Amino acid sequence: MPMSAARLSVPSPKEHILTVKEALEPIFLALEEEAEVKMIAAAVKAGWSMEEAVSAVDELRRTELLPVARQH
In a domain, 60, yes or no: yes
Using CA atoms, how far apart are residues 44 and 16, in angstroms rounded to an integer? 44
Using CA atoms, how far apart are residues 56 and 63, in angstroms rounded to an integer? 11
Residue 2: CB atoms within 10 A of its CB come to 7
In a domain, 27, yes or no: yes
- What is the domain extent for residue 45? 18-72
In a domain, 13, yes or no: no
The pair phi, psi for residue 49, each rounded to 5°, is -75, 160
| Number of structural domains found in the chain | 1
In a domain, 5, yes or no: no
Instruction: Evaluate if pTM is beyond 0.85.
Output: no
In a domain, 69, yes or no: yes
Asked whether the predicted pLDDT for residue 13 surpasses 70, the reply is no
Using CA atoms, how far apart are residues 27 and 34, in angstroms rounded to an integer? 11
In a domain, 38, yes or no: yes
Mean residue pLDDT across the chain: 82
In a domain, 10, yes or no: no
- Higher pLDDT, residue 9 or 45: 45
